[in-house]
Amino acid sequence: MYKRLIILSLIIVSALCGLSVLGYHAVEKWAEGLEGARLGEFAEVAEQIRQDVKQKLDDFMQTEQDRSYTEYNYYYVPDNVAPGQQQMPLLRSPLGSGLDNEFAYGNFQIEPDGSIITPNDDIVQREGATEDNESLYAKVLLNRKNIERNLLPVLNGVTQDSFKMAVDNEAISKLKIKSETHEQAELAKGDVQKSKDIKGGGSKGRQGKALSIESLRAQQQETQIIQQPRQLFINNTIANQELQQQRVGDSRRRRQNERMDLAQPQETGREQTPLTQAEEMAQMIDRYADQQSSEQREQSETVQVRIGGFETIVTGGGDSQESIFGGQVFLLRHVQIEDRHFLQGFQLNENKLIEEVKVSAAQAISTREGMGFELVKTKSVDWVPNDVNEDAAYTAILDFSLGYLALNLIETDPDRLGRQISWLRNWYFGIITVVLLVVTLGLASLWRNARTQLKLAQKKDDFISAVSHELRTPLTSIRMYSEMLEKNWVKSEDKLAEYYRNMRQESERLSRLIENVLDFSRIQRGRKKYTFKAGDINKCIADVVEMMRPYAAQRGFSIKTELGQVAQMVFDGDAVTQIAVNLLDNAVKYARDAEDKTITVRTGSDERFILIEVEDHGPGVPHRQRKKIFEQFYRSGAEAIRETTGTGLGLALVKKFAEAHNGFVEIINAKPTGAIFRVALAVQV
């Protein structure tokens, strides 16, 4: 049996060790999963920011691409003017009264001769010398000088003699001019469609990606071809060119004449009112139309307008060192109306772009716990500046094709993930500790139960052996005496009396043995029934002593009684009789070698218990056995060499009967030697 237990224990311990190793490995993988999930969350936020910024730029570029070419002038005539309408409506350009237009700054138009037109030209003369107009006019002049100083030289570098646009025989070619800076950036960058892994900033070695935002690349858009009424084209041309040339002189003289006419009455008697700006423009358009040659009037009634996609040009000037694009970024588109070619465009507002990236980043991390960000300008996709936050958990490079912006995503609570992993490991080690403790207790309990079962089995074997011996001995004596009496071999009356007495004593001994076995069996099965009645316990003890005197005397013992004053109490007579008989029988068996073979039986009482004591002067009971001797089937010494008789049930029954009376049994050392077995029975009235 022990061999099986050892094998089972080894299997359980091995399985537990294997599960512990696998569990720890799983915890480590889970911890890596938490780190990977957090890194994936950073990557997801970076991609969300990229998509948001790209969407904003795409919407902006689409809006600018769809913008009518007429809105780059100060005035424009709307497309929905009815044919033949006499009064031509003039509208102020939506780009007027300011230079900022989302990501665009300072929309302008470059004529074939190199002159620059903006929607805010001569705004002070046109709209009055207000503080806002003067401030805006100053900014317009600065913007014009910047274009003339930085953009026009790049454009003029396409052809050596003069600025002009190349024309394809089949379609208007797209703008092919780029700055040297932009060309070098394109060559170095290679295929911008392919994102590549980069080294993240900081000592943690986090990896990010180059997130491509291609909205500012050369727009591969088909050339827009618009059929426009010729009269509308003429109206827009006159509204901006003629008025710009003649407004300062001719319009001023006209107004002076009008004021003089107002001061003098007309021949018709009607008062002359000053002409509105729209009426002046209508008259100018009419005069311009009258001056057209017959050849022009014979032309078709529509003109074809071709508008190309925006192309990017990076120039010097501005704060090139701080710019993420290495200079100023201009976006230009080519417009052709019949044989007239010109450019329209704007400068990219880099500060506005960075601000919108910050807005997108703030929105993206607003729903994320413990996440922050910072933007750092960088030179290339493979280079991270020294001032990048070393604590950045994830670095992504926003690749605008023309320049790069490092997006550092930061853990605002750096210990958060560590606490989660630590919590996970603590839980694991706590669970493993509990499991180890449970398994250890289980194995210990299993071994203890196995030992108990083995001991119990051994005790049962001893019990069977003892019962066999105990039954055989009195039966042998009874058989022998009965045969002698049957064959009339005994002639002496004294011998006859002795044999009859021995037969009676052996029968009583046999009865006690059988009664003990039956009582124990009934107790074990819970079928033992007690009959509690009021009575004199001293009388019950005295009767037992008188019954046991011959048995004790035959073995050389004398029984002395010291019965105290005990009031009547409720008790089970059979149980108390069994207690006294078993204690006296135990004293006779284990004190057989004592010099003093006097057994003393006492009774007494205290406030709570009635006490029954049996004292002998034998060897006593060692301390280590004082609890074991009340166990079932326990007998001191090995069965093979044991000299005392008995089944090992007597003292176990004494304890059971005492507990049935809400009492207890204990052993006290006798003087000079021996043991006192004290049984306490609770007083029951």
**pLDDT tens profile 430-458:** 888 888 888 888 888 888 888 888 877 77
Cβ distance 344 to 69 under 8 Å? Answer: yes
Please compute the mean of the pLDDT values over residues 398-415 and round it to a whole number: 85
Taking each continuous run of H as one helix and of E as one strand, the counts in the chain are: 16, 22
Task: Look at residues 356, 648, 365 and name the one whose alpha carbon lies nearest to residue 520.
Answer: 648
The pLDDT of residue 680: 94
| Backbone conformation region of residue 338, classed left if phi is above 0, alpha if psi is from -120 to 50, else beta | left
* 130-172 pLDDT tens trace: 888 889 999 999 999 999 988 898 888 743 333 333 333 333 3
> Which residues of the chain are in CATH 3.30.565.10 domains?
449-682
Measure the CA–CA gap between 423 and 35, rounded to whole angstroms. 14
Backbone angles phi, psi at 99, to 5 degrees: -105, -25
pLDDT at 98 over 80: yes
Lowest-confidence pick of 271-275, 365-369, 599-603, 673-677:
271-275
The pLDDT of residue 389: 62
Beta strands in 161-297 (DSSP E): 197-199, 207-212, 224-229
Let me know if domain 449-682 sits in CATH 1.10.357.10: no
% pLDDT > 70, the chain: 76
- Tokens 């480590």 belong to which residue? 28
Measure the CA–CA gap between 252 and 275, rounded to whole angstroms. 12
| Torsion, Cα of 77, 83, 84, 90 (10° steps) | -10
Measure the CA–CA gap between 293 and 276, rounded to whole angstroms. 28
Structure-block tokens of residue 56: 């904003």
* 23-59 pLDDT tens trace: 888 888 888 888 888 888 888 999 999 999 999 999 9
Q: How confident is the model at residue 384 (pLDDT cuts 50, 70, 90)?
A: low
* 306-358 pLDDT tens trace: 998 888 888 888 777 778 888 899 999 999 988 889 999 999 999 999 999 99
Task: Look at residues 309, 321, 80, 89 and name the one whose alpha carbon lies nearest to residue 216.
Answer: 309
Measure the CA–CA gap between 657 and 652, rounded to whole angstroms. 9
Lowest-confidence pick of 74-78, 190-194, 218-222, 609-613:
190-194
Helix (H) or strand (E) holding 91: strand 91-92
Measure the CA–CA gap between 659 and 127, rounded to whole angstroms. 117
pLDDT at 429 over 80: yes
The pLDDT of residue 613: 94
The pLDDT of residue 127: 83
pLDDT at 292 over 70: no
The pLDDT of residue 248: 41
Q: Which residues of 585-624 are buried (b: 16+ CB within 10 A; e: fewer)?
A: bbbbbbbeebeebbbbbbbebeeebbbbbbbbbbebbeee
The pLDDT of residue 270: 39
Cβ distance 75 to 90 under 8 Å? Answer: yes
% pLDDT > 90, the chain: 19
Question: Could you tell me which residue, 107 or 203, shows the higher pLDDT?
Answer: 107
* 638-671 pLDDT tens trace: 444 445 556 677 888 899 889 999 999 999 998 8
Please compute the mean of the pLDDT values over residues 184-194 and round it to a whole number: 36
